[in-house]
Structures are given as structure tokens and as C-alpha cells.
């Protein structure tokens, strides 16, 4: 079977988003081959409006698809664009940040878990930092109680009960378990479920698109499953830290969008107003601390 026909017949695909990501994409693409023993389609969506010739060449060298976009669509929007190009044979899509390194057999393990139950809509691996620490990547869906408590106290009292509940910190790292949502830094999604939902909500430019996806999968009756026997390393090297104030603002805007969607009933307007005011105040205070 030729490389082209093998890709066309693939059950799995890996999609990632680049925004000047050459330095981290090298390691990511180098790790792809060992992640699965099966044919896998790989797409790199490029959010640089004019395209990135260096990233395009890197994609060519690794024999993966380079998808230049005509605008910066944000993370979820770019993933949606990449998924739209996948062949019809693809049943499972691994959505990943470019600053992730996949370990040997990780994709095969995730797919096996997903295949074990048609109700599983997404499967997430154990996410390790570059230092080997476990990142809490399988969390509860934020509620008014856990979301507000976590936001207010996480920087003052790291072990507070609201943050522990939100992060599911009481669960051991060795157990497969269900979660409210799985980190979009690396998550396997059932394509039919993703399509049923209409993909990521592109209204989230960055942050909370993964929370929203997990929440909507759950509402449709799908399971979000954490599988720690599959591991990836997320260096975080490509996270945007040079403009902390802008990132903080974006995070709070997305949090407000998600909670307003979750509590959308007309009779809940006092809650939405309170959340909007509270998040704006918190965003301003946190941004001030970075000056």
C-alpha cells in the first residue's frame, strides 16, 4: 500500500495548530511515528495569516499535511478547519498542542480505550510536565460553587476544597476514570461525536474550548475518560507568557462565555450579571499584579 493510500485508509488522525511554532513542532512531529502502529493522518493547521514557509517545509519533511489558514482562527477554529479536511475513514482524532511529545504507543492505547465503549466520546492521556510532574488534565465541569471558589482561592490557598473538587485531585494517577472534561492540550475525540456537536465552539478564541467540548459531550450522553496508562509530555514551552495581561484577559473572557452558556436560562440573568462583574474585577486585579 502506498503512503497516500495508507493515509486515506487511516482510522486515526492527529491534528495540531501552529502559530510560529517551528521550535516545538520538531519534537512533536518526531514523536508521532512511535505513538501508533497503525496508519495515521497528520494535519498541521497554521494560524499565521500569511502562512509560515518554515513550518510548511517541516511538514513536508515529515510527510504530513500542512494547512495554511487565511486568518488566525484561534485554537478551536483551526482544529475545526483541520478536521474538515480529514478522509472519511478517520474515526478517531487526536487533538494536540504543538508543544507536546507523544510517548510510544500512546495513541494506540487511547484508541483501544475508546473502542471499548461506544458511549466514550473522548479519551485523555496522563499529561506530564517537562519535570515529570502530573498535570491535572481530567477535571470536573466548573459549577458556580467550584468555579467561583477555585477562582477566588487558588492563588491564596492552593489546597482549598473547591480547587480539589474542580481538579479531581483526590483521584489517584493510576486509575482510569470518567471526567467532566479533558485537557485540549492532548485529547482523543470520537469523530462522529465531534461532528454531532459541530466541533469546537469557535467563539472561544483560546481557553475553555476544551471545557465546553467535554461539557457538551456529557450532555449528549457521551463519556469523557481519563486513561493514565497513555502518557504525553507537555513542555508548555510554547505557551504565550510574553503578554501575560492579554492572556489573563482572554482566560477570564472565555470563563465568562462558558458559564454564561451553561447558565443560559432567562431566569438566571442575575447569576450571569454577577459572574460578569466578578470575573471582570478578578481579571483586572490579576492583570495589575503582573505590572
Q: Which three cell numbers stand for residue 50?
A: 500569511
Domain ranges for the chain: 3-234, 244-289
| Long-range Cβ contacts of 127-131 (<8 Å, 24+ apart) | 127/183, 127/185, 127/186, 127/231, 127/232, 127/233, 127/234, 128/231, 128/232, 128/233, 128/234, 129/233, 129/234, 129/235, 129/236, 130/233, 130/234, 130/235, 130/236, 130/237
Helix (H, G, I), strand (E, B) or coil at 29: helix
Burial of 246 (0-12, 13-18, 19+ CB in 10 A): exposed
Tell me what pLDDT residue 140 has. 85
* Mean pLDDT computed over 251-273: 68
Q: How confident is the model at residue 1, as a pLDDT?
A: 33
Who contacts 21 (Cβ-Cβ below 8 Å, separation ≥6)? 55, 98, 99, 238
Angle subtended at Cα 122 by Cα 121 and Cα 124, rounded to the nearest 5 degrees = 165
pLDDT at residue number 241: 46
Q: Tell me the per-residue pLDDT of 196-228, one tens digit each, with 9 for 90 and over.
A: 999 999 888 878 899 999 999 999 999 999 999
pTM greater than the 0.85 cutoff: no
Query: ∠ CA 225-172-98 to the nearest 5 degrees?
Result: 55
Answer CATH for 3-234 from 3.40.50.10310, 3.40.50.2300, 3.30.365.10, 3.90.550.60? 3.90.550.60
pLDDT surpassing 80 at residue 143: no
Q: Rounded to the nearest 5°, which phi and psi values hold at 271?
A: -65, -45
222 in Cβ contact with 179 (< 8 Å): no
Q: How confident is the model at residue 178, as a pLDDT?
A: 97
Average confidence (pLDDT) over 57-71: 96
Predicted local confidence at residue 252, as pLDDT: 64
What pLDDT, in 10s, does the model give residues 72-128? 999 999 999 999 999 999 999 999 999 999 999 999 999 999 999 999 999 999 999
Is residue 90 within 8 Å of residue 41, measured between CB atoms? yes
> Is it the case that residue 36 has pLDDT exceeding 90?
yes
The pLDDT value given to residue 172: 45
Residue 229 CA to residue 192 CA, distance in Å, equals 25
- The contacts of residue 166 (CB under 8 Å, 6+ apart) are 139, 140, 142, 146, 147, 149, 150
% of the chain exceeding 90 in pLDDT: 60
Residue 156 clears pLDDT 60, i.e. is over it: no
The pLDDT value given to residue 79:
98
pLDDT exceeds cutoff 70 at 16: yes
What DSSP state is assigned to residue 142? P
Instruction: Of 29-38, 127-136, 230-239, 256-265, give the lowest mean pLDDT range.
Output: 256-265
Q: Which pLDDT does position 119 carry in this prediction?
A: 98
Task: Report pLDDT for 288.
Answer: 55
Q: What does the pLDDT read at residue 5?
A: 47
Predicted local distance difference test score (pLDDT) of residue 121: 98
Amino acid at each position: 500500500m502506498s503512503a497516500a493510500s495508507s493515509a486515506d485508509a487511516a482510522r486515526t488522525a492527529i491534528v495540531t495548530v501552529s502559530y510560529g511554532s517551528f521550535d516545538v513542532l520538531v519534537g512533536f512531529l518526531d514523536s508521532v511515528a512511535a505513538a501508533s502502529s497503525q496508519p495515521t493522518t497528520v494535519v498541521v493547521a497554521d494560524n499565521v495569516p500569511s502562512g509560515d514557509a518554515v513550518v510548511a517545509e517541516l511538514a513536508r519533511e515529515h510527510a504530513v499535511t500542512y494547512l495554511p489558514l487565511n486568518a488566525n482562527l484561534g485554537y478551536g477554529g483551526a482544529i475545526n478547519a483541520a478536521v474538515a479536511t480529514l478522509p472519511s475513514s478517520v474515526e478517531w482524532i487526536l487533538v494536540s498542542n504543538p508543544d507536546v511529545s507523544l510517548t510510544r504507543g500512546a495513541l494506540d492505547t487511547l484508541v483501544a480505550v475508546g473502542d471499548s465503549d461506544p458511549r466514550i466520546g473522548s479519551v485523555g492521556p496522563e499529561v506530564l510536565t517537562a519535570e515529570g510532574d502530573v498535570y491535572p488534565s481530567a477535571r470536573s465541569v466548573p459549577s458556580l460553587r467550584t468555579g467561583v471558589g477555585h477562582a477566588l482561592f487558588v492563588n491564596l490557598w492552593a489546597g482549598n476544597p473547591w480547587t480539589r473538587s474542580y481538579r479531581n485531585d483526590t483521584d489517584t494517577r493510576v486509575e482510569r476514570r470518567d471526567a467532566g472534561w479533558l485537557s485540549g492540550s492532548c485529547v482523543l475525540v470520537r469523530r462522529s461525536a465531534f461532528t454531532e456537536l459541530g466541533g469546537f465552539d469557535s467563539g472561544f478564541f483560546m481557553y475553555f474550548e476544551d471545557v465546553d467540548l467535554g461539557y457538551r459531550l456529557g450532555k449528549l450522553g457521551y463519556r469523557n475518560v481519563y486513561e493514565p496508562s497513555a502518557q504525553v509530555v507537555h513542555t508548555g514551552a510554547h505557551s504565550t507568557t510574553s503578554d501575560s495581561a492579554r492572556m489573563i484577559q482572554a482566560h477570564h473572557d472565555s470563563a465568562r462565555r462558558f458559564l454564561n452558556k451553561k447558565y443560559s436560562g432567562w431566569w438566571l440573568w442575575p447569576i450571569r450579571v454577577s459572574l460578569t462583574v466578578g470575573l471582570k474585577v478578578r481579571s483586572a486585579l490579576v492583570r495589575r499584579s503582573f505590572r
